[in-house]
Amino acid sequence: MAARRMSSLLSSSTTSTLLRSLGNYAGRGNGTSRFSTAAALEEPITPPVTIEHTKLLINGQFVDAASGKTFPTLDPRTGQLIANVAEGDIEDVNRAVAAARKAFDEGPWPRMTAYERSKILLRFADLVEKNADEIAALEAWDNGKPYEQATSDEIPLFIRLFRYYAGWADKIHGLTIQADGPHHVQTLHEPIGVAGQIIPWNFPLLMFSWKVGPALACGNTIVLKTAEQTPLSALYVARLFHEAGLPPGVLNIVSGYGPSAGAALASHMDVDKLAFTGSTQTGKIVLGLAAKSNLKPVTLELGGKSPFIVCEDANVDEAVDLAHAALFYNQGQCCCAGSRTFVHERVYDEFVEKAKARALKRVVGDPFRKGVEQGPQVDSEQFDKILKYIKSGVDSGATLETGGQRFGSNGYYVQPTVFSNVQDDMLIAKDEIFGPVQTILKFKDINEVIRRSNATQFGLAAGVFTQNLDTANTLTRALKAGTVWVNCFDVFDAAIPFGGYKMSGHGREKGIYSLNNYLQVKAVVTHLKNPAWL
């Protein structure tokens, strides 16, 4: 999901103390606005949730950071304070890893039956379902995504992931292997131990589920670092895990910054496995820290610049709607966003006009207001970066069809932006913008679009829109990407693996494939004396 400057190991947030925001709960009104109006200037709606958990979770207890430090998590709608959260550091990571190690080496979690583990995961999923509205409100408040998106899309997927992996817990087993001599050979699939996990800010809960679900199903213990921009929802659901019966020390959560908490986790000598979702640049650093410490295996879900290919036989109206969703979903803050929209020259002009019209209709505003499609970007750093890329697009000669500016005067809102006449060598066609900026490129034939689509360091995902089965088959096999969606996009079923080619990462998350990330395979060979058969 996937991941995107997701939980950057080396990113930093502002540390200045800001005024508290929001007044009394105003309800979810109907006064939505198009992006060309001032919906973002309206008085922010107070989210229907109370902040209860701002401390670190270590060994089953919410505790202050060893240093006593805190950092602010900010409301992207206003830039004002939501809460101060405990700032974990190296000492806190050490405490968390020690708790996870003891829980794995001495505790009941890896020793209870897989069926008992599955029941705890199922109880947890039930508790999340019961508290879904509050959890969705935390996610929307801390991240800026539409509350309706969190409730209708993300929380149901989160619940489904844990129920899916609860089903896998008692179905993990090895093989019996025929040997060439008098030996009985079997393989054991064992939990790998203490898993370190670093999750991003764009889909905090979904990335939590993608990592925590399979790790727990396999019997591991966990130290998880949240993104400093979005620490709140993980702490909330962690409390529900303990209500469900998870033993102390099995899941530990450290909030904090990348250079301190993130680096300490990646380089820790007593962490057996590391999983990271974030930018490609930071992924390289994480991989290096893991290698320099104890050579722990690393799963990486990194950046993308995914092609969305509209073929000449496409229904243009349907293609416009799908391409719009592929790019603008979650404010464009998706690792797999269809951020290079390749359109066949025969339908290019029609597509551009309709894409522009669709962007102009996009509803931007307070994510807690009913009907809003797009909220603010996550923080000022992301906001500034997007506007710089937009300026780069204009300066490089692309045609700005619509948008291109800040939306309103408060918070981190960006107008839905569409560029046409984009060339492959422009930064907006090469770099991961991670924002609501659609770039539309023209192509002539299938061989050309295959070559241009693959001419990137990334290989996370791709989209193909065509009515021709032969065209679809040709493209799906030729595109160098971990996922290819045909006449659909952003389908994230729990059973479908997700991951990248090239510099978009290593390994796969979700589905049966993710279990391999958290298991060791042991071969056991026993000599047979006078066997009746071989």
Transcribe 199-232 into DSSP letters: --SSSHHHHHHHHHHHHHHTT-EEEEEPPTT--H
Q: Tokens 């199903």 appear where?
A: 217
CB 405 within 8 Å of CB 373: no
| Count of beta carbons in the 10 Å neighbourhood of residue 68 | 8
* Dist. CA 402–CA 34, nearest whole Å: 13
| Count of beta carbons in the 10 Å neighbourhood of residue 369 | 24
In the beta sheet, which residues pair with residue 402?
418
Give the length of the chain: 534
Enter the tokens of residue 485.
Answer: 């969606």
| Count of beta carbons in the 10 Å neighbourhood of residue 384 | 12
So which residues are the catalytic ones? 301
CA torsion angle for 35, 40, 41, 43 (degrees, to 10)? 140
The answer for 331, left when phi > 0, alpha when psi is -120 to 50, beta otherwise, is: left
Element of type H or E holding 187: strand 183-191
* Dist. CA 413–CA 331, nearest whole Å: 9
Enter the tokens of residue 474.
Answer: 């040709």
